[in-house]
Structure 1
Amino acid sequence: MIAWQAELHNVEALVEIHGRPGYLLQRVPEAVREGLTEGGQQQIRKAALTEIRFVAEAGEAQVTLASHGWPSAVQIYYGDYWVEDRTIGEQPETLTLGARDPRFQFDSPWREGVPRQSFGPVWRILVHGGEVHLLEICGDSIRPPRADEKPALRYLAYGTSITYGGSVSSPDATYVAQAAWRLGLDPLNLGVPGNAHCEPAIAAHIAGRRDWDIATLCLSVNMLNQGVTADEFSARAGAMITAIASANPDKPVLCVGLFTGFPDLGWTWPGREVRATSEAYRQALRSIVEDSGFANLAYADGSELLDDWRGLSHDLLHPGAHGMIRIGERLAERMRPMLY
């Protein structure tokens, strides 16, 4: 999406919310959001690898943001290169980009001998966490990045809070960002914390999008934790996978079974009724892929991607930083032959 002469990446709707300044950066269109569970309708409004991108040809630019619900982590990148981390809250905050820091000799990485990887000289503001509102972008000679200033291929990821990155402190620490970085892909994060239920609305949305080249579907510990039987999971996940794979026969789709976690120990989330095992869900997803007849489908076992319990955080469900890096490494290894 292009607005304010900038590209709003992983944003499908600008939403006005009464009592809040600016526009909410929403990851799916409103019609899709309304087709999710009640919880999903709220969670999909949270920023996840949402970016504001532009080239400031005349120098400095200012971007004003606010985060509602709770604070959001902000990372500023100049192309492939990290600049700084910030945190924003409900009070609007203006970020100034492009001012040279006198402590550093080099004001730009684009010099002879420095390799270009994925991005050109594009200012990138990555936001992650709460409901982020964009109030204003100011600066002279701002323009959206050109196609040759961004990665050529896009990676779309659907899943739970693990995909969203609910346990990490920065956007680039999610497994989605980690895998994308290793493969030189541009990530689109559609993780829905606590509410990845394979609804027809989100399935049709992903199936109908033409802006991705490879997708992962991480399905879905939310359904396991909320009493969905293996048979019902198979039916709902199968319908989603079929819709996406059949509409995009030339695009690889990798279905990811449950990651290592406390359900493997036979434990349940307090107050929840569980009617299946982790292994039953993994086998159901594997069978959907193997029996589908779609050449563009593949399966990856999440317990092999996260193969060390030390990669989990204290709740024994959400990966910490080490776990996210491990998943990103192994997922990239699995995805690479599907792409190149």
Structure 2
Amino acid sequence: MIHDEFPTVSLHNVTETDIADWTGRTTGGHRLCRVPSSVRSAVNVAARERLRHPSGCELRFVPRGDDETISVTLSAPAETVVRPFWGEFQGAETHTLTATPTTLEFSVPERVRRLESAVAATSAFDPRVCRLRFDAWVPVAVHDVAGDCRPPTEAQRPARRYLAYGTSITEGASATAGHLTYVSRIARAVGADALNLGVAGAAYCEPAIADYIAGEDWDVATLAVSVNMANRGFTLEQFRTRAGALVDAVAGTNPDRPVVCVTLFPYHADACRDDDVERAIEFRTALREIVDGSAHENVSLVEGPEVMAATDLTTDLLHPGDAGMAAIAEGLSPVIRNRFEA
């Protein structure tokens, strides 16, 4: 989106901003939100808050000259970091944000200025696009942007968009950085722009989120649902009804766009003594049957246990670590690439 107060930059994976209540109304600050308030108000309370976290969000700009210095003022209610990328080149430094607005300065790195055109052409992003990338777990607000810059053009960013809905695994829990989530890794591997709609602890396949995803602009979507429903007391029939409605809404509204459903990744139910492995099996079977019975030809299925092993989890035996995120990306990227090329 292009924000009225910051027309020289674009806010990616952001649909609107909210008051940054940690700074007070007098000091301003626009908190990044991934979906509109009309959607947030229609989902569960936990999801409302998660969707106001900047998972996969970016602030992007292109300096109008290589010698230009662009200043961006940001804040966060607790300590977090922002990672600058230039196109797909990762910046050498990270920057720490706190509740006190901090002004950061950026200019095109010296060696990026001298890139051979053949090298630059291999990137889905133009290397002169500065991408300030935010982690998932602390809100972020934009206060000011100064300097001679503009938003990236369509030609300077990926032509295709990959949307991912799911739980904290999709949002990126236990990945050591936002660009190491499976969503970000897949997007890089297939040359797409990622829209991360992971909702930690609250991916309940609600009608409002189904309708929102159905109406968004994307080229391929993955629906990794939902260990939250398996762990939070939903009945199998409730899951079947909600997941079925989600698939029907997203795929039915977009018959020419591929929708890839992903069954539960391995987790403690599969791996620990005295856990409920039958429930995990039943939830996977339910999603499999939803896909098998779908009237929509654009729907397909990937089995979560086929793309990641239980040993790729962290010690909570729920969230993939960096190895697990890499494994999921390695397993799903060819599927998504094939859907793009079909």
Task: Identify the residue that residue 314 of structure 1 maps to in structure 2.
Answer: 315
Aligned mate of 1:179, from 186, 198, 208: 186
Task: Identify the residue that residue 125 of structure 1 maps to in structure 2.
Answer: 132
CA contact (8 A) 1:224 1:276 kept: no
Task: Identify the residue that residue 36 of structure 1 maps to in structure 2.
Answer: 43
Q: Does 1:73 align with 2:81?
A: yes
Q: Which amino acid aligns with 1:133?
A: A
Unaligned 5+ runs, structure 1: none
State the number of aligned residues: 328
**1:51-62 paired onto structure 2 within 5 Å:** 51-58=58-65, 59-62=68-71
**1:238-249 paired onto structure 2 within 5 Å:** 238-249=244-255
- What is the SS of the residue equivalent to 1:235? helix
Aligned mate of 1:108, from 107, 113, 128: 113
Aligned mate of 2:16, from 13, 25, 31: 13
| Deviation (angstroms), 1:89 | 2.1
Q: Does 1:139 align with 2:147?
A: yes
| Deviation (angstroms), 1:86 | 2.7
Task: Identify the residue that residue 86 of structure 1 maps to in structure 2.
Answer: 95
Q: Does 1:228 align with 2:234?
A: yes
Q: Which amino acid aligns with 2:98?
A: G
CA contact (8 A) 1:154 1:186 kept: yes
| Deviation (angstroms), 1:169 | 2.1
Cα distance change, pair 334–100 in 1 and its aligned pair in 2 (3 A): closer
Please give the root-mean-square deviation of Cα atoms over the aligned residues, in Å: 1.8
CA contact (8 A) 1:72 1:89 kept: yes
Aligned mate of 2:288, from 270, 286, 289: 286
- State TM-score, norm by structure 1: 0.92
Per-residue CA distance 1:176-231 (angstroms, 9 max, x = gap): 0011111001000000100000111111111111x211000110000000011222
Cα distance change, pair 113–337 in 1 and its aligned pair in 2 (3 A): closer
Task: Identify the residue that residue 339 of structure 2 maps to in structure 1.
Answer: 338
Aligned mate of 1:201, from 208, 212, 216: 208
| Deviation (angstroms), 1:329 | 1.0
| Deviation (angstroms), 1:108 | 2.3
| Deviation (angstroms), 1:92 | 1.6
Task: Identify the residue that residue 156 of structure 2 maps to in structure 1.
Answer: 149
Cα distance change, pair 18–66 in 1 and its aligned pair in 2 (3 A): closer
- Runs (4 or more) in structure 1 with deviation over 3 Å come to 265-269
- What is the SS of the residue equivalent to 2:261? strand
My pick for the range that moved more, 323-332 or 17-26, is: 17-26
- What is the SS of the residue equivalent to 2:296? coil
State the distance in 2 between where 1:335 and 1:100 align: 33
Per-residue CA distance 1:272-307 (angstroms, 9 max, x = gap): xx796111111100110110121100011111111x
| Deviation (angstroms), 1:115 | 4.0
Task: Identify the residue that residue 2 of structure 2 maps to in structure 1.
Answer: 2
Cα distance change, pair 113–265 in 1 and its aligned pair in 2 (3 A): closer
- What is the SS of the residue equivalent to 2:32? strand
State the distance in 1 between where 2:290 and 2:52 align: 30
CA contact (8 A) 1:207 1:243 kept: yes
State the distance in 1 between where 2:73 and 2:201 align: 30
My pick for the range that moved more, 50-59 or 107-116, is: 107-116
Unaligned 5+ runs, structure 2: none
State the distance in 2 between where 1:71 and 1:220 align: 30
Task: Identify the residue that residue 189 of structure 1 maps to in structure 2.
Answer: 196
State the distance in 2 between where 1:146 and 1:19 align: 33
Q: Which amino acid aligns with 1:226?
A: R
| Deviation (angstroms), 1:112 | 3.9
